[in-house]
Amino acid sequence: MINDYIFILKAVCHTLTQTSSHQVLICRNYKGDVDMSEIDHFFTLLMQQEEEGLLCPVMSHGNVHFLWIKHSNLYLVATTNKNSNASLVYSFLYKLVEVFTEYFKELEEESIQDNFVVVYELLDELMDFGFPQTTDSKILQEYITQQGNKLEVAKTKVPTTVTNAVSWRSEGIRYKKNEVFIDVIESINVLVNANGSVMSSDIVGSIKLKTMLSGMPELRLGLNDRMLFALTGDKGKTTVTMEDVKFHQCVRLSRFESDRTISFIPPDGESELMSYRINTHVKPLIWIESVIEKFSHSRVEIMVKAKGQFKKQSVANNVEIRVPVPSDADSPKFKTSTGHAKYVPEKNLVVWSIKSFPGGKELLMRAHFCLPSVENHETEGRPPITVKFEIPYFTVSGIQVRYMKIIEKSGYQALPWVRYITQSGDYQLRTNT
């Protein structure tokens, strides 16, 4: 990837003339092949495309290309006159947002203006001559600080992680108690139509680590055969097909391809080891049935039945069932078999909250609303019912951690802890109007 300039701009709206312009907050020239004045054409192109309703992530003026993203009230723009790898450019721009957010908590105009020196230091370290360099915020924070008086002192000695083969982990880390926490988290996305048929469903999963290990340990993670076959593309009767599998840079891909071992030297602290998606038919874990009855246009009654379609020994925690109601409803009354319901008028919703929902159970909620005596002839599109939940000690895909071996030259003993969580993602059930 070759970038010439990185610009951070803010949009300026002129109320009297009803026009917009831009103000360059900060920029960094990496190669000098593109004139800085070219950025003036970016906002002109952007406004033209906004008026036409055809916004494009890549815009060109002559032989100069603008690749941009918007964050809050800021535009981050990369310019190039080469045939650069666009996906790498965008990965870098989003990495910029991530690093700046780690440093300043919020990335906005004020945080840039208050930290010009640190931003320039970061831009210099993140990229060199148009090529990405050190992009790990934890490593950058070792020698680029927000305290100016310490900045020069810190720069005299560059951390070994910058030049080390293991750039994501510092040397000399020590803990009194060595532990590894492994979280296997799966989110279920489900869309059910009004007839009760599942229209689309998939599972988005990740394996997250929190490592508190001394030295430079090597970890070997073993998954159950079902998932390993899926990862390597081998097909069998019990195999699920994984898509969009992504490993952290610490994983030795060559080792995995040869013997299916996930071997790595982990980053210190929290990290995402891998993520995946499984495009498969998923039975809704919490099934919802609803009946709506209107009486003489003066009142409406809503009955919602929820059933836990998962194992009886499992329990769904912090369940929220959001049921849409007519926008002109008032005077709510509720009756629930478990949990409590409340009316949220600004969102035209009834939120039924259940702290603990055992598998195999059926729960009931009834709601009564008054309606205006004058009938509302407007046809309202009825939004779907949405459900939020979290089920511990359970995964839909069947993924399991078989073992975690921790090898370190000092030979210390470490404790691995594994936790499984299934939670709702985009979980919607449409209803008859």
Q: What is the mean pLDDT of each run of 10 residues along the chain (433 residues)?
A: 68 44 81 83 86 87 90 88 87 90 87 87 86 80 61 44 68 92 96 92 95 94 71 56 86 84 92 92 92 81 94 95 89 93 92 95 94 58 91 91 91 92 95 69
Per-residue pLDDT, 433: 56
Per-residue pLDDT, 156: 43
Per-residue pLDDT, 389: 97
Q: Does pTM surpass 0.75?
A: no
The answer to whether the Cα torsion of 56, 58, 61, 63 is positive or negative is: negative
| Strands in 15-165 per DSSP E | 19-29, 58-61, 64-71, 74-80, 127-128, 131-132
Distances (CA, A) of 206 to 266, 278, 286: 16, 11, 22
Per-residue pLDDT, 358: 95
Contacts of 247 by beta carbon, 8 Å cutoff, 6+ apart = 253, 256, 262, 273, 274
DSSP state of 17: T
